[in-house]
């Protein structure tokens, strides 16, 4: 009986130790998830900081145009040209909608991730990323070729998908900003239950050493930054059940994001 009691006590102690280890692992995993979320949020805010001037320009342009059209509408109304005045007011409405779309895009991009996913159109996420980066693209004379086959949907959290796309397009812009006739090609197509999104540029490409360490922290070819954008983007892709790769190409750089097709 004493031996049975001793073994029982040993088993209880072992079980208690195992429970403690499980609880410690659970706490460590929860802390890791919080850290990932915080890094993702920090990356989004850092990107917003980089594009603030561009977005301000995107808003200032329609604001200036609204003032001009409002003055014209007032003059046209005084002259009795109601048709032209209405058209001017219609243009003002269109411009205010554009400002609303830009500010809504900013708010959405800055919003903290909730982790909730739902079917989202790939086209909408791509257009949202391009809206945020539109001025930078025009500033450097970079053309964008967009080719989306059909209207594929993916189950994601929209802000996190946009975050990946903004990081990829920003990288392409930085590779092309000193190059004449820069071009970014963005494509999306569904195949075999997956959606493949491609972001390619005609820049100098990636050196073999850079490509090998591309998704490792602190790997960067930029004069500023920690090289975490691609690391975070790949982690987000994995969290969404997808992958992010940078396959070799004959010229330029190519990134391929694969996600599950929404049912």
Task: Please check whether residues 190 and 150 belong to one and the same domain.
Answer: yes
Evaluated on CA atoms 7, 11, 16, 20, the torsion sign reads: positive
Task: Please check whether residues 101 and 125 belong to one and the same domain.
Answer: no
Please say which residue of 79, 112, 145 terminates a domain: 112
What pLDDT is stored for residue 58 in this prediction?
Answer: 64
Please write the tens of the pLDDT for every residue from 55-102: 676 677 677 778 888 888 888 888 888 888 888 888 888 778 777 777
State percent of the chain over pLDDT 70: 80
Domain assignment of residue 79, given as a range: 1-112
What pLDDT is stored for residue 223 in this prediction?
Answer: 43
Please tell me the distance from the alpha carbon of residue 54 to that of residue 29, in angstroms, as a whole number. 38
Task: Please check whether residues 106 and 168 belong to one and the same domain.
Answer: no
First vs last Cα of the chain: how many Å apart? 61
CATH number where 166 lies: 3.30.565.10
Task: Please check whether residues 149 and 253 belong to one and the same domain.
Answer: yes
Q: State pTM to two decimals.
A: 0.66
Please say which residue of 112, 141, 168 terminates a domain: 112
Cα 14 to chain centroid, rounded: 47
Task: Please check whether residues 95 and 189 belong to one and the same domain.
Answer: no
Task: Please check whether residues 208 and 88 belong to one and the same domain.
Answer: no
Task: Please check whether residues 131 and 231 belong to one and the same domain.
Answer: yes
Please say which residue of 65, 80, 112 terminates a domain: 112
Task: Chunk the chain into consecutive blocks of 10 residues (it has 263) and report each block's average pLDDT, rounded to whole numbers.
Answer: 76 82 77 65 65 66 79 87 87 79 69 79 91 85 95 90 90 88 95 95 86 67 55 86 90 94 85
Task: Please check whether residues 48 and 140 belong to one and the same domain.
Answer: no
Task: Please check whether residues 138 and 243 belong to one and the same domain.
Answer: yes
Q: Encoding tokens for residue 116?
A: 């909730």
What pLDDT is stored for residue 63 in this prediction?
Answer: 77
Structural domains of the chain, count: 2
């Amino acid at each position: 009986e004493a031996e049975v009691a001793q073994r029982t006590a040993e088993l209880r102690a072992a079980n208690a130790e195992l429970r403690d280890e499980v609880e410690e692992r659970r706490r460590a995993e929860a802390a890791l998830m919080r850290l990932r979320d915080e890094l993702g949020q920090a990356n989004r805010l850092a990107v917003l900081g980089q594009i603030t001037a561009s977005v301000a320009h995107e808003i200032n342009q329609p604001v200036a145009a609204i003032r001009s059209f409002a003055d014209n509408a007032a003059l046209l109304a005084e002259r009795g040209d109601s048709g032209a005045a209405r058209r001017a007011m219609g243009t003002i409405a269109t411009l205010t909608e554009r400002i609303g779309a830009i500010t809504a895009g900013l708010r959405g991009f800055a919003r903290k991730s909730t982790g909730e996913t739902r079917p989202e159109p790939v086209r909408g996420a791509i257009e949202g990323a391009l809206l945020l980066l539109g001025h930078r693209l025009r500033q450097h004379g970079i053309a964008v070729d967009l080719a989306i086959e059909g209207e594929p949907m993916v189950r994601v959290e929209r802000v996190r998908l946009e975050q990946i796309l903004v990081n990829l397009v920003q990288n392409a812009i930085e590779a092309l900003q000193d190059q004449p006739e820069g071009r970014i090609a963005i494509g999306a197509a569904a195949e075999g239950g997956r959606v493949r999104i491609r972001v390619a540029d005609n820049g100098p490409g990636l050196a073999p050493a850079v490509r090998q360490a591309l998704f490792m922290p602190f790997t960067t070819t930029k004069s500023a930054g920690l090289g975490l954008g691609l690391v975070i983007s790949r982690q987000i892709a994995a969290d969404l059940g997808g992958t992010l790769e940078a396959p070799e190409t004959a010229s330029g750089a190519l990134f391929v994001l694969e996600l599950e097709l929404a049912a």
